[in-house]
């Protein structure tokens, strides 16, 4: 199953590398785009839940890394909720295939 990482920049300028077990995140985000904080969290939650469900369909179990990534994004987003119009910058994707090697 193709995996993908994606890099984001939080409203305070810190960057983070995130993980998805599926390329479905490419349907939800565009490199170079800025997203309202709540919109970014919702899109992340939707895409990563779909990705985890795809793992479950293929392997019989949910992807704990994808579910953990959702929780981490939600937790980090709480730090910025008090800001006026917080935005998350979507930097880029970095693809790799778990079947390589």
* DSSP 8-state class, residue 56: H
| Average pLDDT score, the chain | 94
CA distance 3 to 22: 5
Any alpha helices (H) in the chain, and if so which ranges?
A: 37-59, 64-78
pLDDT of residue 27: 98
Q: What is the pTM of this model?
A: 0.91
Domain range annotation of the chain:
2-97
pLDDT digits (tens, 9 = 90+) for 17-46: 999 999 999 999 999 999 999 999 999 999
Q: Calculate what percentage of the chain has a pLDDT beyond 90.
A: 91
CA distance 73 to 52: 15
């Amino acid at each position: 199953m193709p995996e993908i990482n994606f890099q984001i920049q939080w409203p305070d300028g810190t960057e983070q590398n995130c993980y998805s077990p599926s390329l479905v995140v490419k349907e939800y985000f565009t490199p170079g785009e800025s997203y309202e904080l709540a919109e970014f969290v919702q899109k992340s939650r939707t895409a990563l839940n779909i990705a985890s469900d795809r793992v479950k369909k293929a392997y019989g179990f949910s992807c704990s890394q994808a579910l953990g990534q959702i929780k981490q994004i939600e937790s980090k987003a709480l730090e910025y909720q008090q800001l006026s119009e917080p935005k998350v910058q979507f930097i880029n994707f970095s693809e790799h295939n778990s079947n390589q090697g």
